[in-house]
Chains A and B, each alone.
Chain A
Amino acid sequence: MNTLIFTSLLGFFCMVAEILNLRKLIGPVLVLGLALIFGLNQQDWNMNQTFYGMLQVDNFSVAFGSLAIFITLLVFILSSEYYADQEHHISDYMTILCFVLVGALMMFSFSNLTMLFLGIETLSIALYIMAGSKRFDKRSNEAGFKYFLMGAFASGFLLFGIALVFGSTGSFDIQKIAEYPILNSQNISPLYYTGIVLIIFAMLFKVSAAPFHFWAPDVYEGAPVLITAYMSTLVKVAAFAAFYKLVSAVFVYSTPHFEFVLNIAAILTLAVGNLMALSQTNFKRLLAYSGISHAGYLMLIILSSKSQPVAALLYYLLGYSVSTIAAFAVAMPVFKAANSENIDAFNGLGTKKPVLAAALSIAMLGLAGIPPFMGFFGKYFIFTEALQNGFFITTIVAIVGSMIGIYYYFKVILAMYGQPANEVKVETTFNYNLVLWVCLAISLALGLYPAPIVNLF
């Protein structure tokens, strides 16, 4: 709860700083403030507080909250470099990014569907603006508007589902909704099932799982590259944590039919994400499809939520996030120098900037799931969970998918080392390098020694 309040205050500070003409302060204060909030968040560990039946701060929300704050911290460090030439807009951008984090924190700690809805909307509305924040770029306009239309459409389904669940159970509280099918096992209202299916559709939309994934590539490609980095990590973390919490707290007890629906969605997501990524030439679009395929792997965790695989979910999301942010930390200066966002912008980076090229290779290997990085062990934990819960076919599809995945991640590595160099001069700065090496160090350290995360729960 303190985390939520102080993050909102940080957002307000950015707005006030604009009025008081303190724009130079925003960057340092935000980084420092978020670091403090990260520490404050740890205070709630093992506290298990509830607030008026609306929010519940438990170890789940603290762990995922820390992950979200950490991602935001990295993005803020990148953003002071990325927005260096747009200083007069910095306070708007930073305020909105702060409120994205507020929405995410609400999604981790909801214990009432009202808070889930408000969290999703706080996160999404802020991101609609950020996706369209390059006002004079038609592609950014298009990305923002498409994201808005799809997101609002999905919210409509979420709300209709919530209304139907409320009609049948008489409450928005997830505890009472979970009790309903147990207490009334003889005559469960059909409204309840319809409502849950609609809520699941909306959540599949938010996590960009097939067949509701089609917005993701367009939005990721059109949005400014920093926002793409933020969306592909934080939104995935928030949406999957909320989806997991919803499924494990509410739907597990209701009926086995939903397993079937989610199983089909997982197989479709794995197939679509991995196969469509093969033919991409745009780097952001490639990472969008890679994000869809990672959503497919994470769906296996949602499927096996009966055995409470919180640690595996956290581990996988952390591994995915650090690799993705590291990839974007290399891509940002390269795109800026080459004025292009295609994979061939990386041509010959191996000879021009061997260290940077090596770093991007490590990030790509981490995403592909090659040992000894976190991606490999994340997939390993997920597949064991899924097999223990009896999802053999889905696991086989996921393993085949991750083999296909190696091909398109290596396309980037091959461009860096196998293609002749272009004459663009790439310059990186301290901030990019800092974020890059922090991410890679985490990916390697927790890959070699996963116990700190795995033994958390």
Chain B
Amino acid sequence: MEQVIQHSNPQSWYLVLSTILFSIGVMGVLFRRNAIIILMCIELMLNSVNILLVSFSAYAGNSEGQVFVFFIMVVAAAEVAVGLALLVSIFRNTASTDINVLSKLKW
């Protein structure tokens, strides 16, 4: 029983949306100094990819992309768990979440 899905918006809108979100994430990682905000920006980058994959998948009628999104979610959760754990150990040693305290390693 094939169900025809009517898409009200053209696919490129989703492409533009996810590109904008991805760029916001990239800018956040590059320019913000607070480690927690940087972590959130990385999440934003990964989630913009999820939007893109789901929209491609829906418009092409191909479910592979939606399965891939689950993998991204799992990996993002694992990544954030490790990132926050590292951040906690930094906070215990330096009492700060500003990444400017991370300047011990220079040539």
A residues near B (Cβ < 8 Å) are 114, 117-118, 121, 125, 128-129, 132, 135-136, 138-139, 141-146, 148-149, 152-153, 155-156, 159-160, 162-164, 166-167, 170-172, 191, 217-218, 221-222, 276, 279-280, 285
Complex contact B102–A142 (CB within 8 A) = yes
Q: Given contacts A117-B75, A141-B90, is CB(A149)–CB(B68) below 8 Å?
A: no
Q: Given contacts A128-B82, A135-B89, A152-B42, is CB(A167)–CB(B56) below 8 Å?
A: yes
Closest to B57 in A: A166
Complex contact B49–A163 (CB within 8 A) = yes
- In the complex, A152→B79 CA distance in Å? 8
**Which residue of A132, A142, A163 contacts B53 across the interface (Cβ within 8 Å)?**
A163
- In the complex, A162→B68 CA distance in Å? 10
Complex contact A159–B94 (CB within 8 A) = no
- In the complex, A145→B90 CA distance in Å? 8
- In the complex, A424→B65 CA distance in Å? 59
Complex contact A167–B52 (CB within 8 A) = yes
**Which residue of A121, A135, A285 contacts B78 across the interface (Cβ within 8 Å)?**
A121
CB distance from A329 to the nearest CB of B (A): 24
Complex contact B86–A285 (CB within 8 A) = no
- In the complex, A138→B104 CA distance in Å? 8
Q: Tell me, yes or no, whether B31 is within 8 Å of chain A by CB.
A: no
CB-CB < 8 A to B65: which residues of A? 163, 166
Q: Given contacts A145-B102, A222-B104, is CB(A153)–CB(B29) below 8 Å?
A: yes
Please, could you name 6 A-B residue pairs with CB atoms under 8 Å apart, sorted by A?
A139-B104, A145-B90, A148-B79, A152-B42, A155-B46, A172-B68
**Which residue of A121, A146, A217, A222 contacts B79 across the interface (Cβ within 8 Å)?**
A121
CB-CB < 8 A to B105: which residues of A? 139, 142-143, 146, 217-218, 221-222
Q: Given contacts A141-B90, A148-B82, is CB(A166)–CB(B64) below 8 Å?
A: yes
- In the complex, A41→B49 CA distance in Å? 36
- B residues 77-107 near A (Cβ < 8 Å) are 78-79, 82-83, 85-87, 89-90, 93-94, 99, 102-105, 107
Which of B56, B57, B104: most chain A CB closer than 10 A? B104
Complex contact B49–A118 (CB within 8 A) = no
- Given A156-B25, A159-B49, A222-B104, 18 other A-B residues pairs in contact with their CB atoms under 8 A: A117-B71, A117-B75, A125-B75, A125-B78, A128-B82, A128-B83, A129-B82, A132-B89, A135-B89, A141-B94, A145-B86, A146-B105, A155-B46, A156-B26, A156-B45, A163-B65, A172-B68, A285-B107
Main secondary structure on A side of the interface with B: helix
CB distance from A111 to the nearest CB of B (A): 14
- Size category, B interface: 35 or more
CB-CB < 8 A to A280: which residues of B? 107
- In the complex, A141→B99 CA distance in Å? 11
Closest to B48 in A: A160
CB-CB < 8 A to A155: which residues of B? 46, 75, 79
Shortest 8 CB-CB contacts between residues of A and residues of B? A156-B45, A167-B56, A218-B105, A159-B49, A142-B102, A163-B52, A141-B90, A121-B75
Complex contact B83–A166 (CB within 8 A) = no
Complex contact A146–B102 (CB within 8 A) = yes
Q: Given contacts A166-B68, A170-B62, A221-B105, is CB(A156)–CB(B49) below 8 Å?
A: yes
- B residues 34-51 near A (Cβ < 8 Å) are 35, 38, 42, 45-46, 48-49
CB-CB < 8 A to B56: which residues of A? 163, 166-167
Closest to B14 in A: A167
CB-CB < 8 A to B18: which residues of A? 163
CB-CB < 8 A to A145: which residues of B? 35, 83, 86-87, 90, 99, 102
Q: Tell me, yes or no, whether B60 is within 8 Å of chain A by CB.
A: yes
- In the complex, A152→B82 CA distance in Å? 11
- In the complex, A269→B42 CA distance in Å? 27
Q: Given contacts A139-B105, A149-B38, A163-B53, is CB(A118)–CB(B68) below 8 Å?
A: no
Complex contact A142–B107 (CB within 8 A) = no
Closest to B30 in A: A153
- In the complex, A344→B67 CA distance in Å? 54
Closest to B59 in A: A167
CB distance from A290 to the nearest CB of B (A): 14
**Which residue of B53, B79, B93 contacts A166 across the interface (Cβ within 8 Å)?**
B53
Complex contact B46–A128 (CB within 8 A) = no
**Which residue of A132, A146, A152, A172 contacts B64 across the interface (Cβ within 8 Å)?**
A172
